[in-house]
Amino acid sequence: MNEYRNILLAVDFSEDDHYVAQKAKHMAEKLKAELSIIHVLDNIPMPDTAYGTVIPLDTPTSYASLEVEKSNLVNIADQLGVKPIHRCLVWGEPKQEIARFAEKYQIDLIVVGSHGRHGLALLLGSTAKGVLHYAKCDVLAIRLQEE
Ligand code: AMP
């Protein structure tokens, strides 16, 4: 079996990120794989911005909330030792942008968190489920505490 060479960690800046990130980092180290990280901006209104627009991390913007998201991503990536070239902040729908990045950069494993869900949330589906649907590579869902 081929080992994973390029692992993508998807972070949503929730308190679960640390747990999921440690699993991804550990796996990348064990396999000597390259670790990439992505956050998809789905909660900031950005008029006239097309889905799939990548936000440069090293250029200041006029959006205060965007600066917060940028520094969140840079902080996590620095802690994990992810190279600047393997960090992605992009505007759009999380499941689609995560899958799009994975395909574009030959990712062979995506790591996401997964909550146990009930009721309406179960019907609406999770990001993990959506990524599994859209991605062409393997997806590792890290089980998180039930909400
Ligand atoms: P959710 O199903 O929305 O509770 O999210 C579960 C997991 O999906 C998180 O632990 C992340 O790995 C990933 N995820 C959710 N939202 C985003 C986002 N906006 N950008 C990147 N990853 C995300």
Residues 45-80 pLDDT 10s = 777 888 889 999 988 887 888 899 999 999 999 999
Q: Residue for token digits 């992505």?
A: 38
According to the model, what pLDDT value does residue 125 have?
65
For ligand 1, whether the C-beta of 95 sits within 6 Å is: no
Q: What is the CATH number of the domain that holds 116?
A: 3.40.50.620
Residue of 110, 98, 107 lying closest to 52 (CA atoms): 98
Give the percent of the chain with pLDDT over 90: 70
Q: Is the pLDDT of residue 134 over 70?
A: yes
Q: Is the dihedral of CA 44, 48, 51, 56 positive or negative?
A: negative
What sections of 13-90 are H helices per DSSP? Answer: 17-31, 64-80
Number of domains in the chain: 1
Each residue's pLDDT tens digit, 21-41? 999 999 999 999 999 999 999
Residue of 116, 105, 49 lying closest to 82 (CA atoms): 105
Ligand 1 atom closest to Cα of residue 115: 4
Range of the domain at 128: 6-143
According to the model, what pLDDT value does residue 117 have?
67
According to the model, what pLDDT value does residue 121 have?
63
How far is it, in rounded angstroms, from Cα 69 to Cα 89? 8
According to the model, what pLDDT value does residue 26 have?
97
Is 21 domain-assigned? yes
Average pLDDT over residues 75-103: 97
Q: What's the pLDDT band for 5 if we cut at 50, 70, 90?
A: very high
Is 1 domain-assigned? no
According to the model, what pLDDT value does residue 1 have?
60
For ligand 1, whether the C-beta of 16 sits within 6 Å is: yes
Q: What is the pTM of this model?
A: 0.93
Q: How many A from CA of 11 to the centre of ligand 1?
A: 6
Q: What's the pLDDT band for 147 if we cut at 50, 70, 90?
A: low
Is 64 domain-assigned? yes
Q: From its phi and psi, is residue 92 left (phi > 0), alpha (psi between -120 and 50) or beta?
A: left
For ligand 1, whether the C-beta of 41 sits within 6 Å is: no
Q: How many A from CA of 10 to the centre of ligand 1?
A: 6
Nearest CA to ligand 1 atom 16: 12
According to the model, what pLDDT value does residue 62 have?
78
Ligand 1 atom closest to Cα of residue 111: 12
- DSSP β-bridge partners for residue 75: none
- DSSP β-bridge partners for residue 8: 36, 110
Task: Tell me 68's DSSP state.
Answer: H
User: Which are the contacts of 40, defined by CB distance < 8 A and separation ≥ 6?
Assistant: 10, 90, 91, 92, 93, 94, 97, 98
